[in-house]
């Protein structure tokens, strides 16, 4: 008997897709409208918005808007045509790579079209079937998907647990001696859910005992961490020990694209072997030129990062003072952890959005353990202290409702009610 693939797909819709009819357009795939910023329109009303990774406020910065618009007027959206290896290269692409390399202190950089796609393809290019990957248990989905392409062995170590990593490196070393391969350790600079920093300095120190290369996804760290904003490697004073440094433009740079920094020979290898770049059209010129301006602002306007951290410290300090559990974050990512069920989380989110006019991301099982509700806040440089005070006041109110069982007594709130 041959099964119908479409029937199989529908039957394994998954926990999010199963509730699509009620959730779509409100809890999932919501539409935020109007200029990007701390307050945007949702469901017909203005909401205080904590859900965008616009850390430095560059998405609507006037100099960024002008750079994007001027490049679009000059080049259009199609230029350059073709993959960079064939016909899609330009002086601007190469300038952006040089500027990025200088900023993060790496010998060379390769520009990528997208972050998720870039990590997947980089892992595929860097390891073969003889090599072993050792990765953090809380690695982002792009890392997991990159490893799915790897037909060799991989070992997972407990999140930020150096003892567990050392144990897995012992296993990996013994196996590599048999296969003749090498070892790649993969982790993150900033973990996007918990806000914890990867223990990069401690991992780098293990190179004295083990022979491996270190790949760091610093999507949330670039622009936000370190004295100059050069990332979590700078923050922990161990950038030289990071062999492959990745970050995306989708966070602090408020754009599209990504990059990898490494030694020159590795970047040369990636240029000629990274399939997602060889077989894909080059990054459009408006995004390339606009990213040059974005990086310039990160480098020359330290007040952007200073403003971000003013809001981060006020928000996180205020939440802790009010008795909220925000985990172990040491970065702008601000998780608020509450005890409750998925239906309670639904009611609470609806209440926040419709009665308190606050829009933030909500995370439930299976991303967090059963019985835990995470409200994930992303502070930015363009939020205000008044925004912080308003949010903490609202969170106190919804926590009282949650603790007193009010969200268990309501009819399930949906966008159709």
Residues 328 and 220 in one domain: no
In the chain, how many domains are there? 2
DSSP 295-362: HHHHHH-HHHHHHHHHHHHHHHHHHHHTT-B-TT--SS-EEEEEE--HHHHHHHHHHHHHHS-EE-EE
Query: What's the CATH code of the domain at 233?
Result: 3.40.640.10
Q: Per-residue pLDDT tens, the chain, 417 aa: give them.
A: 888 889 888 888 776 676 677 778 888 899 999 999 999 999 999 999 999 999 999 999 999 999 999 999 999 999 999 999 999 999 999 999 999 999 999 999 999 999 999 999 999 999 999 999 999 999 999 999 999 989 899 999 999 999 999 999 999 999 999 999 999 999 999 999 999 999 999 999 999 999 999 999 999 999 999 999 999 999 999 999 999 999 999 999 999 999 999 999 999 999 999 999 999 999 999 999 999 999 999 999 999 999 999 999 999 999 999 999 999 999 999 999 999 988 899 899 999 999 999 999 988 877 788 899 999 999 999 999 999 999 999 999 999 999 999 998 766 455 444
Over residues 9-63, the pLDDT tens digits come to 888 877 667 667 777 888 889 999 999 999 999 999 999 999 999 999 999 999 9
Which DSSP letter does residue 81 get? P
Domain termination site, one of 258, 280, 300: 300
Residues 207 and 74 in one domain: yes
**Contact call for residues 227 and 298 (beta carbons, < 8 A):** no
Residues 134 and 267 in one domain: yes
Domain termination site, one of 300, 316, 333: 300
Residue 114 tokens read as 């997208």
Residues 121 and 270 in one domain: yes
Kindly state whether residue 208 falls inside one of the protein's structural domains.
Answer: yes
Residue span of the structural domain in which 35 resides: 5-55+302-409
Kindly state whether residue 186 falls inside one of the protein's structural domains.
Answer: yes
Residues 247 and 338 in one domain: no
Over residues 214-270, the pLDDT tens digits come to 999 999 999 999 999 999 999 999 999 999 999 999 999 999 999 999 999 999 999
Kindly state whether residue 330 falls inside one of the protein's structural domains.
Answer: yes
Residue 347 tokens read as 């009611």
Query: What's the CATH code of the domain at 352?
Result: 3.90.1150.10
Residues 221 and 309 in one domain: no
Domain termination site, one of 269, 300, 331: 300
């Amino acid at each position: 008997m041959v099964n119908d693939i479409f029937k199989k797909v529908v039957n394994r819709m998954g926990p999010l897709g199963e509730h699509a009819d009620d959730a779509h357009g409100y809890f999932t795939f919501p539409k935020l409208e109007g200029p990007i910023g701390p307050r945007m329109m949702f469901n017909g009303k203005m909401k205080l918005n904590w859900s965008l990774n616009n850390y430095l406020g560059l998405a609507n910065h006037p100099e960024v808007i002008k750079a994007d618009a001027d490049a679009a007027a000059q080049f259009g959206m199609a230029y350059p045509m073709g993959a960079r290896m064939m016909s899609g290269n330009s002086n601007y692409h190469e300038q952006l790579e040089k500027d990025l390399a200088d900023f993060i202190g790496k010998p060379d950089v390769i520009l990528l079209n997208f972050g998720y796609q870039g990590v997947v393809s980089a892992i595929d290019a860097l390891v073969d079937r003889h090599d072993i990957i050792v990765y953090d248990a809380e690695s982002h989905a792009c890392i997991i998907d990159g490893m799915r392409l790897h037909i060799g062995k991989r070992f997972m170590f407990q999140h930020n647990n150096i003892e567990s990593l050392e144990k897995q490196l012992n296993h990996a070393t013994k196996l590599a001696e048999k296969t003749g391969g090498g070892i790649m350790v993969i982790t993150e600079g900033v973990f996007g859910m918990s806000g914890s920093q990867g223990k990069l300095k401690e991992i780098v120190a293990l190179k004295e005992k083990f022979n491996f290369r270190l790949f760091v996804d610093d999507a949330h760290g670039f622009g936000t961490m370190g004295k100059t904003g050069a990332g979590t490697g700078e923050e922990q004073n161990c950038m030289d020990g990071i062999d492959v440094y990745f970050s995306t433009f989708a966070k602090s740079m408020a754009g599209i694209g990504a990059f990898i920094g490494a030694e020159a020979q590795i970047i040369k290898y990636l240029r000629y072997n990274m399939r997602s770049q060889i077989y894909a059209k080059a990054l459009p010129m408006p995004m390339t030129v606009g990213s040059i301006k974005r990086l310039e602002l990160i480098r020359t306007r330290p007040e952007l990062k200073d403003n971000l951290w003013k809001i981060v410290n006020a928000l996180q300090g205020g939440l802790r003072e009010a008795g909220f559990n925000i985990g172990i974050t040491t970065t702008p990512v601000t998780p608020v952890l509450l005890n409750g069920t998925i239906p309670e989380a639904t009611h609470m989110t609806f209440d926040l959005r419709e009665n308190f006019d606050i829009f933030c991301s909500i995370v439930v099982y299976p991303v967090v353990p059963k019985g835990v509700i995470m409200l994930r806040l992303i502070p930015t440089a363009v939020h205000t202290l008044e925004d912080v005070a308003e949010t903490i006041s609202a969170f106190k109110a919804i926590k009282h409702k949650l603790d007193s069982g009010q969200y268990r007594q309501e009819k399930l709130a949906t966008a159709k009610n």
